[in-house]
Amino acid sequence: MFEKPQVQHPLEILTEIERSAAVDQELLLRDSGTPWSEVLADYVDALNELAAKSTANDGYIATYGLDEGHAGGCG
């Protein structure tokens, strides 16, 4: 009898792609020479700028804490 070829599940393929991308990003950040504190500070500044632009449009900033929505769990 002939064996059926094994086909990898699509979610397994996506998991491998995600894992590979995460490793690539980590290596790029590590090798860049930029301290993590600067990367984090720039990221926070960019988020604050986006929030400020949104506030200018409608006067409201959406805020979420760990107790709201699904961020803190549903248990």
Rounded Cα gap, residues 25 and 28, in angstroms = 5
Expressed as residue numbers, the domain containing 52 is 34-75
Residue 48 covered by a domain = yes
Q: What is the pLDDT of residues 4-26, one digit of tens each?
A: 778 899 999 999 999 999 999 88
Percent of the chain with pLDDT over 90: 21
Mind listing the pLDDT tens digit for each residue in 22-75? 999 888 888 888 888 888 888 888 888 887 776 666 666 666 555 555 555 555
| Mean pLDDT across the chain | 78
Q: Using CA atoms, how far apart are residues 61 and 13, in angstroms rounded to an integer?
A: 38
| pTM of the predicted structure, to 2 decimals | 0.39
Residue 61's contacts (CB-CB under 8 Å, 6 or more residues apart) are 51, 54, 55
55 inside domain: yes
In a domain, 1, yes or no: no
pLDDT for 1 equals 65
How many Cβ atoms sit within 10 Å of the Cβ of residue 59?
7
Give the number of domains in the chain.
1
Q: Is residue 6 part of a domain?
A: no
59, part of any domain: yes
Structural domain includes residue 12: no
